[in-house]
Amino acid sequence: MSDIRLQFLDYSLENLVSIISEFSGISDLQLSSKRHIAYFKSYLSHLNTKTIIVETPYIDHDFLSDYSYYYVKCFKEYSKKCMRLHLFKKMILEDYFFSVYNDEAIKSDINEAYLGFIVIKPLPNTIFGRTCLVTYESSEKRHYTCNVRYSVNLAGVKLTVESVAFQEQDSIVAACATSALWSVFHVTCRSNNHYLPSPVELTKSALENYPLKNRYFPNYGLNLEQMAQAIRKVNLDPLCIEPQNTAILKKAIYSYLQCGIPILMGIEIRNIIDGGYIGLHAVSILGYSIGQTESEFKSDAIEELYCHDDQVGCFVRMSFKGNDLAITCGWTIGGIEQEAKVTCLLIAQYNKLRIEYSTIYEYIYWLNNLFSKFKWGKLSWDTFIILSNDLKSKLLAENILPFQKKKEIMTTELPKYVWQSTLSINNKKRIRIIFDATGISQDSLILTDIVYDEEFYNILRILFKILKDQFPNFSVILQYLSEHFTDER
């Protein structure tokens, strides 16, 4: 039995490349040509990385599963033992680190400086295994809504990192779609309590009903149906969205990301220089950056997405370009960043979450068109799905709600998931409408509302009473809205 060895190094790109090269046998030159190295150079520099602690050997659960199914059966011998690189934003010397055993304060100091880890696999080229790195700091603009907490044990020292696991595809037991789904499942297994499959298990489950389409391994890619099959295997329902333009794409992404539901995005990458076709690709969306907008819909203000791209790195920034589904990606050719076109979104969702974003927007579009006629000021709709318990916690923290209203909503029975849409006029909240996310679209989905402006609410009651009397059969949505706002409570 070999001992675990820890090596303490100052962080530099040269040291990072040298360590990986020595372990993997890949030359420094070949390693430096990988997109991941260029990305980690920028990312780790932004995190102000100061120290690398090299942990060898390291047994990684996911690679061990892949190894036992495929690599152990190869004629050439491959090791099952990985290397794990731990990164810190302060200088951590060996004596200081091991003094943690006698000083609890040092443990807290080390954990605060911890930036996460990178697993290096003992393979010829696709070496970046399970990687969990902290994100850039969240702000009013930057939102990482899908992060989960990972516990790490380094020589008996317990550390934690908030992130979403990433890894490079190896094109043997996993292709890009598998890697993207694997990252998505790292989030959904926490929120939905399902089993977390390893890449090899995920690929097998995706292909088991398609015996003639593709061999299990080596695997060179999954199609949309196969990805949906893998989602069903963990008892979630796949929702495929094919947006017609960027505005619709943003609404869909914002609606689910706000609830911490990760999204798999299919893209078609083209060479920006000659317009040539590069290929189809899949990434997982885990966060976004949002600015200001003159639009009535807050989602239109999304400027960038933060995605795991197995060919580039974790939390890669992808920026929107116009309204034709074009988006930048981290792929470069000749030093020029390439563009991609979004083809679809695939969401692994709770199986009782039946009402899609488009159904809720039918109500919101109707209300927005009506309210726009009255010149009340700048309308702004903030619409997304949310766990009802999270909604109640959010409302409980709002100082503008009176005690009696808080008590009323806290004791209101709601389904596990609800849709909520908050209307602000001239940056002042007026009303929050709550919809049933588990109902049926042929019935009214309005559950209740939270009123921030009683005068505005009284105007709505009068307005919908008039509309109800004058246009009793105008539309089903008008009927549902009129019934809600004219109901005597």
Whether 315 maps to a domain, the answer reads: yes
Q: Express each pLDDT in 136-167 by its tens digit.
A: 988 889 999 999 999 999 999 999 999 999 99
Whether 35 maps to a domain, the answer reads: yes
Q: Which domain holds residue 296?
A: 244-349
Q: For position 211, what pLDDT does the model report?
A: 55
What is the total count of domains within the chain? Answer: 3
Examine the domain organization and report whether 123 and 150 are in the same domain.
yes
Per-residue pLDDT for 185 more than 80? Answer: yes
Examine the domain organization and report whether 250 and 278 are in the same domain.
yes
**Which secondary-structure segment (H or E) carries 43?**
helix 35-46
Examine the domain organization and report whether 306 and 440 are in the same domain.
no
Q: Residue range 19-43: average pLDDT?
A: 90
Q: For position 215, what pLDDT does the model report?
A: 47
**Which secondary-structure segment (H or E) carries 477?**
helix 476-485
pLDDT category at 131 given cuts 50, 70, 90 is very high
- pTM of the full predicted structure? 0.92
Per-residue pLDDT for 473 more than 70? Answer: no
Whether 71 maps to a domain, the answer reads: yes
Radius of gyration of the chain from Cα atoms?
Answer: 25
Residues 6+ away with beta carbon under 8 Å from 403: none
Please state, in angstroms and rounded to a whole number, the distance separating the CA atoms of residues 36 and 30. Answer: 12
Q: For position 213, what pLDDT does the model report?
A: 52
Whether 421 maps to a domain, the answer reads: yes
How many DSSP H helices and E strands does the chain contain?
Answer: 15, 19
Examine the domain organization and report whether 26 and 135 are in the same domain.
yes
Examine the domain organization and report whether 362 and 462 are in the same domain.
yes
Examine the domain organization and report whether 158 and 56 are in the same domain.
yes
Q: For position 317, what pLDDT does the model report?
A: 94
pLDDT category at 182 given cuts 50, 70, 90 is very high
Contact criterion met (CB below 8 Å) for 468 and 455: no
Please state, in angstroms and rounded to a whole number, the distance separating the CA atoms of residues 20 and 122. Answer: 10
Per-residue pLDDT for 274 more than 80? Answer: no
Q: What is the identity of the amino acid at 180?
A: A
Examine the domain organization and report whether 302 and 402 are in the same domain.
no
Q: Residue range 255-259: average pLDDT?
A: 97
Maximum mean pLDDT: which of 167-181, 320-334, 410-424: 410-424
Q: For position 216, what pLDDT does the model report?
A: 44
Examine the domain organization and report whether 421 and 299 are in the same domain.
no
Q: Which of 163, 182, 217 is the last residue of a domain?
A: 163
Q: Which is more confident, 245 or 210?
A: 245
Q: For position 293, what pLDDT does the model report?
A: 87
Share of the chain above pLDDT 90, in %: 66
Distance of CA 483 to the CA centre of its chain: 37
Q: Which of 349, 378, 407 is the last residue of a domain?
A: 349
Report the range of poorest mean pLDDT among 201-210, 236-245, 439-448: 201-210
Examine the domain organization and report whether 439 and 338 are in the same domain.
no
Residues 6+ away with beta carbon under 8 Å from 33: none
Examine the domain organization and report whether 380 and 339 are in the same domain.
no
Contact criterion met (CB below 8 Å) for 217 and 203: yes
Residue 236's nearest CA partner among 284, 175, 191 is 191
Q: Residue range 16-42: average pLDDT?
A: 91
Examine the domain organization and report whether 9 and 156 are in the same domain.
yes
Whether 343 maps to a domain, the answer reads: yes
Please state, rounded to an integer, the average pLDDT across all residues of the chain.
90
Whether 32 maps to a domain, the answer reads: yes
Q: For position 174, what pLDDT does the model report?
A: 40
Q: Which of 349, 378, 412 is the last residue of a domain?
A: 349
Q: Express each pLDDT in 91-103 by its tens digit.
A: 999 999 999 998 8
Residue 41's nearest CA partner among 83, 87, 91 is 87
Per-residue pLDDT for 214 more than 70? Answer: no
Q: Residue range 354-371: average pLDDT?
A: 94
Examine the domain organization and report whether 266 and 345 are in the same domain.
yes
Whether 173 maps to a domain, the answer reads: no
pLDDT category at 175 given cuts 50, 70, 90 is low
Per-residue pLDDT for 251 more than 90? Answer: yes
Whether 36 maps to a domain, the answer reads: yes
Report the range of poorest mean pLDDT among 208-212, 242-246, 455-459: 208-212
Report the range of poorest mean pLDDT among 6-10, 156-160, 274-278: 274-278
